[in-house]
Structure 1
């Protein structure tokens, strides 16, 4: 990923926050001379390794777990919000007419080494943690014990877990940081007013950081 210095994210915790807030990633693998992409929800364990570990699971019928070997390098892409930016939102455009449209976004790329975990205990732990993470805000959060044991046993046998040790974490927050302060602020306020709150507020935070 091309990352100009003004869009780079050196803060690893900021990238961890993005992954945890937007855990539905794209797992990109390479085997037999071809690329494959799978869309999977991930659980991030910040405490493991130098840069964290990603956990997920796939259907046993999905060939990805058989096409990779333990230790293979993979890439997982996590995308937060994105938004079109009109040059009309930049006050400087109306003075100098030297602005063009662009697209702003926040992404994190996690490079790592994959391990296939085809064991029931690991699979159950993975499913339980993902469920707890995403069902916790429900009035009556679902748990594995809510379903019949034989049903859960059959379901867990139908999936395979994957563990990815992150070796490199690269972020790009493209928020018009290369523009004038007033341009960043006005575009961020306009986006927020239009409902693109995540990008809008991120732009306003970038403007605040630039003003310091």
Structure 2
């Protein structure tokens, strides 16, 4: 991912938090000479101090599974809020742009054993069921139905080997333009604009 230095994010605490908050990502590999991608939840886990992996699974019928034993590097893409930035918000008329946040993670992939997959599914359910009024645990699922579903998916672990992060948030603008962008984003009122404005305020308090 092309990332000018002024837009690079290097704080792993911020990056890992971003990945966890926006964990429905895209897994990309090359299948028969063409890029292949699947949208799926990718959960960041620290296997041991300083060793991070992404856990996920996809349908056994998904052709991308045939790339899992290829030895090729895989790419996981995570994105969040983004917003158009009008040049009319600047003191002097300039070119409009787009503010956004994105993280790319590269690494080798390993297929999980059935027991690893089951443990991964349990963690996934516990994470997302926590907000439910009546949380469902994996032990609540009928064992036969659970086993049938496990047989129909392929679990994997992607080792985090390289991280590229772009948090493009008007860092190149002076204060007057910067806070004008924040004000106009807030006025737009949509969720994406609000989130970008909030992130900009956190990074450069007024």
State the partner residue of 1:44: 44
- 1:49 offset after TM fit, Å? 6.8
| Kept in 2: contact 1:51–1:167 (CA 8 A) | no
- The two structures have a TM-score, normalised by structure 1, of 0.89
Q: Secondary structure at the match of 1:189?
A: helix
Contact 2:57 2:156 (C-alpha < 8 Å) held by counterparts: yes
The corresponding residue for 1:66 is 66
CA contact (8 A) 1:177 1:207 kept: no
Task: Give 1:129 shift.
Answer: 0.9
Task: State whether residues 55 and 126 of structure 1, in contact with CA within 8 Å, keep that contact through their aligned partners in structure 2.
Answer: yes
Instruction: Give yes or no for the alignment of 1:54 onto 2:81.
Output: no
What are the superposed Cα offsets for residues 126-176 of structure 1, whole Å, 9 maximum, x if unpaired?
111111111211111121222221111111111110110011111000001
SS for the counterpart of 1:52 is strand
Residue 126 (structure 2) pairs with residue 132 (structure 1): yes
Structure 2 residue aligned with 1:23: 23
Number of the residue aligned with 1:154: 148
RMSD between aligned residues: 1.7
1:105 match: 100
* TM-score for both structures, normalised by structure 2: 0.91
Any conservation in 2 of the 1:25–1:78 contact (CA below 8 Å)?
yes
Residue by residue over 1:80-135, the C-alpha shift from the partner in whole angstroms, topping out at 9 and shown as x without a partner, is 11111112223x13xxx3x2211110000001111112x32111111111111112
CA distance in 2, matches of 1:122, 1:4: 39
SS at the partner of 1:46? Answer: strand
Give distance in 2, aligned partners of 1:18 and 1:39: 17
Measured after TM superposition, the shift of residue 192 of structure 1 is 2.7
5+ residue gaps, structure 1, are none
Query: Would the aligned equivalents of 1:51 and 1:169 in 2 still touch at CA under 8 Å?
Result: no
Specify the alignment match of 1:32 in structure 2: 32
Instruction: Tell me if 1:199 matches 2:196.
Output: yes
**1:188, 1:138 → 2: CA distance?**
34
Distance 1:67 1:11 in 2: 31
Q: How many angstroms does 1:10 deviate by?
A: 1.3
